[in-house]
Structure 1
């Protein structure tokens, strides 16, 4: 006998015995059935009893089939209705109210540390939607986007994470915008920065979360050096990072609630390097509008290339108009133009006549966590609705950038600016001190859409053409 035959016999032993047993059982069943049939058949009611037995057997088979189909999805044996497994299944079947959380915690860089943390979150009924890791010298910072039961409190979440080995835990509520994965979000911010140099501070704020960003020029408007500049590679100091501004000067980013990681520092530096390689740029789209009296004006983005035209407009403005705008000596007004027109410090809209003369400027200035709006309209073109139009567009830009409010600093006697702020139809706060009036408008991004000029600016930037 060969090895192959032996192997087959080992796998299927004694099949002939089982066949004999089955054959004997079949013969026995036939003999019993024949005997019962003859006994019943020779009685007066024999045929009726045989038919009734057949019907009863058929009904029993049909009932068994129906019962099996109806209860085919019953829980497997060993899973009682009140068992933890059954309760867990009911939790997933029934809809529950949830909330999104962003959480960042530091864990030891050892095998199993992340698994313990994930186990603690699972015990709270928390789903992990995204996870980013930021390696450090003595551990790893893990950043989570979580979907948790709405009843879960931040204190309880922090306590369980600490018990699982997490330290320095920070949490805050998230929204649907955080569901975008990090590579997609970074690519979108890089695209916005490439189209418009004024987007760099906003891109850094959206990249790094809740933080304060300040741009400092290398030379102040009065001509004095602004202080020591950071090196080209930048400086990272716990909750502060300093980056070299490609336009000259420095960009300082501060975040009070948690330190920056080397990964975040590298991402911020990459955005700044992208801005440096692309050089100065603003969208070159423009809108042509008709004033009530019939004159056509052009509204477009302005930059430092418009400094000469802005200086010429200063020459045509009265001292009162300049003093209402710059809140200081009129002879110092020209010093601020180069700073105001820089895309790094905000966005500027310019208004030109049909002949190309610059007659108005509107500024949206990034001031740390706040945003300032400022207007200057040449005397001969005032009271024609130009200031209100510029203010409405600047406010729309601020809302689209995610700003919570905008404020205007003016004098209490500047009724034109106050009327323009009221014309926005937004909630206003007033603060006045020694004749200086600060009017703050609280923005609602859903109620203040961006102006047509900004929408066309993005389209023109993508297509590389100018609209007129």
Structure 2
């Protein structure tokens, strides 16, 4: 690249020498003519006419030189020709992002045929992944295409170019991250928190349904759910051995899994198994309005004994509103609720270390459930609302579209806490059981941002 100054024409000394010689020749010729004509009767008039003609010629030469000295050399593309695109053409026409998969024969030239078909419609290939199969290859593209090009026409063009079983859906800016970077990010999140494994699998494999089935039921009986160490891949269903026991089932009916995706998912599960149970140890110390200090932190299986003791201090009515069943079965749910494999749990403890409240965010396939349990002596102090707000923030961070709570119609405390979220709510009542669903995608982004500061009077943030 050159600057404007260095881009000027080079100075040639030969051209200057020739011009100077021509000038002296012209002066000599003019002097001879002047001497010859000056002695004639009309000599002075002829000399004046010649001077005017010379001045006019010099002026024309100067104008012509200045006009063409700044012209670009022949063949230079100035961007003003009929084929040069004008500025802002792409913005004016508009483009969209598509994620597309298609299966082609494993033969030379098949990928080139697809690329030619895409180029014919001015479609830009941003990323490309290949998934080898036993017969053929699945090519996965991230495309930027003109907005005027419908998906049906794009699918027809790909089919004409040799693609089969073509699948296409709209993408967004998050898909612009290359696959190795995205997989490393998911592995990092999984390494920091065992509860991230189901979320990481969902983000890795796209829209899918994930179920974690334990090896033992709540009553302690074997469920019969198991999977081999290497896992099982059956077209649209993937079964992986859960490191904590049981099996993780991943289903994606609209798009079969490839061996490459199966290997990536299995690698994430193996990483989780090697690291063992782990939960981030961050905590917030808050001050209640009456001056008591409480600590909000993540909970796991190590808190089971403290949770059992809290159950013993809760009334049967409180346990019944939380577990919707026989009170004697409440203790059996704790192993499931405190496992990071099935969700995230927040615990509230006093300054003396006593556990007084639990909040659960539970992965339920494609849906997410929130549940609260606050000890009787600590109710009506804002603890439930604080826990619920933090659980909703965790759901937003996990990319959940909605959360639901199952309670009784006369549980005014839970209903009030859900309404205090200021989110769109849906109510369903069946035989006294109330299901309240909060839609997270319908609220402003700043309202759903994960909490970084305590909502009660803060004492410290560790």
* TM-score > 0.5 by shorter chain: yes
Counterparts of 1:52 and 1:32, CA distance in 2: 15
Residues 110 and 34 of structure 1: is their aligned pair in 2 closer, same or farther, counting only changes over 3 Å?
farther
- 2:280 is the alignment partner of 1:283: yes
Are the aligned partners of 1:300 and 1:453 in contact in 2 as well (CA < 8 Å)? no
Question: 1:19-69: CA deviations, max 9, x gaps?
Answer: xxxxxxxx9xx9999879855762444443444444344333333344435
Shift of 1:396: 0.4
Q: How does 1:35-114 map to 2 (within 5 A)?
A: 38=32, 42=37, 43-68=43-68, 71-72=71-72, 86=83, 89-90=85-86, 95-96=91-92, 97-114=94-111
| TM-score normalised to structure 2 length | 0.86
Shift of 1:335: 0.6
Secondary structure, counterpart of 1:95 in structure 2: helix
Shift of 1:467: 6.2
Question: 1:194-220: CA deviations, max 9, x gaps?
Answer: 110000100111111111111011111
Counterparts of 2:101 and 2:345, CA distance in 1: 38
Shift of 1:71: 4.8
- 2:178 is the alignment partner of 1:181: yes
Q: CA RMSD in A?
A: 2.7
- 2:127 is the alignment partner of 1:130: yes
Residues 175 and 62 of structure 1: is their aligned pair in 2 closer, same or farther, counting only changes over 3 Å?
farther
Residues 173 and 308 of structure 1: is their aligned pair in 2 closer, same or farther, counting only changes over 3 Å?
same
Aligned to 2:209: 212
Shift of 1:94: 5.5
Are the aligned partners of 1:285 and 1:453 in contact in 2 as well (CA < 8 Å)? no
Aligned to 1:241: 238
Residues 282 and 120 of structure 1: is their aligned pair in 2 closer, same or farther, counting only changes over 3 Å?
same
- 2:447 is the alignment partner of 1:450: no
**Which region of structure 1 is more displaced relative to structure 2, 313-322 or 105-114?**
105-114
- 322, 330, 334: which is aligned to 1:333? 330
Secondary structure, counterpart of 1:189 in structure 2: helix
Comparing both structures, which one devotes a greater share of its residues to helix?
1
Counterparts of 1:347 and 1:219, CA distance in 2: 20
- 148, 167, 172: which is aligned to 1:170? 167
Counterparts of 1:69 and 1:252, CA distance in 2: 74
Residues 55 and 270 of structure 1: is their aligned pair in 2 closer, same or farther, counting only changes over 3 Å?
farther
Aligned to 1:320: 317
Residues 73 and 372 of structure 1: is their aligned pair in 2 closer, same or farther, counting only changes over 3 Å?
farther
Counterparts of 2:273 and 2:73, CA distance in 1: 64
Are the aligned partners of 2:214 and 2:225 in contact in 1 as well (CA < 8 Å)? no
Count, aligned residues: 426
Are the aligned partners of 2:98 and 2:168 in contact in 1 as well (CA < 8 Å)? yes
Counterparts of 2:71 and 2:308, CA distance in 1: 86
Are the aligned partners of 2:213 and 2:225 in contact in 1 as well (CA < 8 Å)? no
Aligned to 1:252: 249
Question: 1:176-197: CA deviations, max 9, x gaps?
Answer: 1111111111111111011100
Shift of 1:452: 2.8
Residues 234 and 73 of structure 1: is their aligned pair in 2 closer, same or farther, counting only changes over 3 Å?
farther
Segments of structure 2 that go 5 or more residues without pairing to the other structure are 1-20, 38-42, 455-459
Segments of structure 1 that go 5 or more residues without pairing to the other structure are 1-26, 455-465
Residues 264 and 435 of structure 1: is their aligned pair in 2 closer, same or farther, counting only changes over 3 Å?
same
Residues 118 and 59 of structure 1: is their aligned pair in 2 closer, same or farther, counting only changes over 3 Å?
farther
